[in-house]
Amino acid sequence: MAADSRTIIAPTDAELLQAQADLWRHSLYYLTSMALKCAVELHIPTAIHKLGGAASLPDLVTALSLPQTKLPFLRRLMRLLVTSGIFASDSGAEVETYRLNPLSWLLVEGVEAENHTYQKYFVLATVSRHYLEAASSLADWFKKDLPVPIPSPFEEQHGVPLVHEKTKLLDEELDRIVNEGVAAHDNLAIGTIIRECGDIFRGVQSLTDCGGGDGTTVRGIIKAFPHIKCTVLDLPKVIENAPPHDSVTYVAGDMFHSIPPAQAVMIKLLLHFFSDEDCVKILEQCKKAIPSKEEGGKVIIIEIVVDPSLGPIMYEAQLLMDLLMMVNIRGRQRDENDWREIFMKAGFSDYKIVKKIGARGVIEVYP
């Protein structure tokens, strides 16, 4: 049915002009992503870091070994990146100077700090040709009546799933970048979690980190809580390459089949890769692995909890991460209601969101 023109309030001139500018922004935001990709590929953050954390445009051109003729173009690139919050600048200074901010600090190579994870590969994966092609096919994907479980647009477009052993058959370099990118994105440092809500580990005698990768997280936990007996469960190919540690038991296995018993099971940045049905299956295994609530049994989940009350920027970041999952993987980001439904379906009696840490939440789930 045609829209009833009487129900549409005619925009004012000012509103129309603003709407046009907003349309430009939303249609052209891909250029911000490409400018970020360019900064990463030129190693601009590392160059500014090596120049002492601040650099003038001529210094930057020299440090990056760019032709002098590119200086005015670099100025335009940096102006957009500063406005987008990727770098800082000394506005009003006699000589135009660009500085690192916390975001560009994450793109500096070779920083040795507990809370620094080099994010180059997260950027390169998300702007890769394969991701962009999958995102461009979204409308066609919506129109197709695909059989359940519905493949992601990425899978439909490229014929293989992402973050999967078959991904390298599509493109070995993409597979490498994606694995590095996932590792970087997932490496929310355990130090931050311990500082923000370390109480979740107090009173815990034993802990299994389900999908715990190479054990980085549990090594951080043991450092702060040496009494906790820690086990890491992951796939055989991951456990084979995990560095040995006196206080960590490594178990090669499949969380869909069984999880090593402990007073608490932790699942950090893993469930968003999986469908609701698979999350229920994984959590059912978690429940079998822990004792009753009275005996201190619990599952600790660290994942995004989509929540508009975190403010428009954080909420937008969460929704973009959800679309990233929708386009490329069969997983999703979840709000509190989604999480509650999964916990109840898996047979848990109660849960508590202990704390929101940035875009993520720390949840305790009780049997």
Ligand X SMILES: C[S@@+](CC[C@H](N)C(=O)[O-])C[C@H]1O[C@@H](n2cnc3c(N)ncnc32)[C@H](O)[C@@H]1O
Query: Which residues are part of the catalytic machinery?
Result: 272
Supply the minimum distance, in Å, between the C-beta of residue 335 and ligand X.
20
254 interacts with ligand X by CB under 6 A: yes
Q: Which stretch binds ligand X (CB under 6 A): 70-78, 181-189, 310-318, 340-348?
A: 181-189
CB-based contact 325:332 (threshold 8 Å): yes
Q: What Å distances lie between residue 238 and 17, 95, 298, CA to CA?
A: 54, 50, 25
Q: How far apart are CA 208 and CA 255, in angstroms?
A: 11
Count residues near ligand X (CB under 6 A).
Answer: 17
186 interacts with ligand X by CB under 6 A: yes
Q: If phi over 0 gives left and psi between -120 and 50 gives alpha, with beta otherwise, what is residue 302?
A: beta
367 interacts with ligand X by CB under 6 A: no
User: Which residues, other chains included, contact 304 with Cβ-Cβ below 8 Å and sequence gap of 6+?
Assistant: 272, 318, 321, 322, 333, 334, 359, 360, 361
Residue matched to tokens 């370099």: 173
217 interacts with ligand X by CB under 6 A: yes
Q: Closest Cα to residue 104, out of 87, 123, 91?
A: 87
325 interacts with ligand X by CB under 6 A: no
Q: Closest Cα to residue 45, out of 73, 20, 82, 12?
A: 82
Please state whether beta strands 334-335 and 248-252 pair in parallel, antiparallel, or not at all (unpaired): unpaired
Of the pair 78, 182, the CB lying nearest ligand X is at 182
Q: Which of 60, 218, 232, 233 binds ligand X (CB under 6 A)?
A: 233
Of 292-321, binders to ligand X (CB under 6 A) are: none
Q: How far apart are CA 63 and CA 281, in angstroms?
A: 53
Q: Which of 213, 297, 331, 361 binds ligand X (CB under 6 A)?
A: 213
Of the pair 155, 186, the CB lying nearest ligand X is at 186
Phi first, then psi, for residue 304 (nearest 5°) are -65, 135
187 interacts with ligand X by CB under 6 A: yes
238 interacts with ligand X by CB under 6 A: yes
Q: Which of 123, 182, 290, 342 binds ligand X (CB under 6 A)?
A: 182
268 interacts with ligand X by CB under 6 A: yes
Q: Which stretch binds ligand X (CB under 6 A): 122-130, 137-145, 266-274, 359-367?
A: 266-274
Supply the minimum distance, in Å, between the C-beta of residue 200 and ligand X.
15
Q: Which of 175, 234, 303, 322 binds ligand X (CB under 6 A)?
A: 234
Of the pair 206, 217, the CB lying nearest ligand X is at 217
DSSP assignment letter at 200: G
Question: Across 150-287, where does the E strand assignment appear?
Answer: 206-210, 229-234, 248-252, 264-268
Q: Which of 123, 125, 270, 290 binds ligand X (CB under 6 A)?
A: 270
Q: Closest Cα to residue 351, out of 223, 169, 232, 200?
A: 200
212 interacts with ligand X by CB under 6 A: yes
256 interacts with ligand X by CB under 6 A: yes
240 interacts with ligand X by CB under 6 A: no
Of the pair 80, 252, the CB lying nearest ligand X is at 252
Which parts of this chain interact with ligand X (CB under 6 A)? 182, 186-187, 211-213, 217, 233-235, 238, 254-256, 268-270
